[in-house]
Amino acid sequence: MNNVNIPKRAYHHGNLREALVTAGMRALADHGIDGISLRDVARRAGVTPPAVYRHFQDKDQLVDAIAAECMERLYATIADEAAKASEHPLARFRHAGIAHVKFAAAHPEHFRVIGIPGLRQRLSAENRARLDEMERQQRAEIAAAQAAGLIADMPIDDLLLAANALVHGLAAKIVSGELGEVSPARAAKLAIAVTGVIGVGFIPRDTPLQDPMQPQLKRKR
């Protein structure tokens, strides 16, 4: 009987925790939360199963760490994009969507994992509170903009669903490779374009509207 030996380097991994989170992220994307196993994650990371327990007591701890890693990268992208937004509520709303597209283009594996059903429930109380606060603030800004006549008076849930579906759809197309090679600059340009469409709408107007985020854009005749 042949024995399959794991190379000795597996026992001296330079950054084992980071390697396990990365391997776990790929396992989650392939099998979902219910299908992931520490043995599979260990195999992907090139270590023995007992080595995993140096950092994670069980599968739940590993999934929690993966969720936290994904959210931290998303928060950082959103914060960076928010710093570029003007005070106009529609612009701020659009920049949040642009951040999600840029996040997906820069971190495709993280984007895939965030979309796994049930992952949000695995976030720590602190991360759930941060996410809830972001959503609360976004809703408050939309409500204030509606009161000022800057955003259409439609149910906020409908607006958020439409915007999220549009942004997520674009991000998924980028990550799947459907749009070909997409650089960070092109991802941002595409996000500005699609959020501009939903911001202006399809209904024709007597006076052409200029997208403030694309000053060079002119209406075709």
pLDDT digits (tens, 9 = 90+) for 29-74: 888 888 899 999 999 999 998 999 989 989 989 998 998 899 899 9
Distance CA 93, CA 60 (A): 34
Distance CA 52, CA 47 (A): 8
Task: Answer yes or no: are the C-beta atoms of 25 and 12 closer than 8 Å.
Answer: no
Fold (topology level) of 12-57: Arc Repressor Mutant, subunit A (1.10.10)
Burial (CB count <10 Å: 0-12, 13-18, 19+), residue 22: middle
Burial per residue of 158-196, b for 16 or more beta-carbon CB atoms within 10 angstroms, e otherwise: ebeeebeebbbebbeebbeeeeeebeeeebbebbbebbb
Distance CA 145, CA 142 (A): 5
- Identify residue 97 by its one-letter amino acid code: G
Summarised one tens digit per residue, pLDDT across range 52-63 is: 998 998 998 999
CA dihedral 19, 20, 21, 23 (to 10 degrees): 90
* DSSP for residue 12: G
pLDDT at residue 166 greater than cutoff 90: yes
Our measurement of the distance from residue 56's CA atom to the centroid of its chain's CA atoms, rounded to an integer in Å, reads 25
Query: What does the pLDDT read at residue 44?
Result: 93
Alpha-helical segments (H) within 3-121: 16-35, 38-45, 49-52, 59-82, 89-106, 108-114
Give residue 187's pLDDT band: very low, low, confident or very high (50, 70, 90): very high
Structure tokens at 109: 């594996």
CATH number given to 60-200: 1.10.357.10
Distance CA 35, CA 37 (A): 7
Query: What does the pLDDT read at residue 211?
Result: 65
Average pLDDT in the 86-111 region?
89
Give residue 13's pLDDT band: very low, low, confident or very high (50, 70, 90): low
Query: What does the pLDDT read at residue 212?
Result: 61
As a whole number, the mean pLDDT across the chain is: 84
Distance CA 75, CA 158 (A): 24
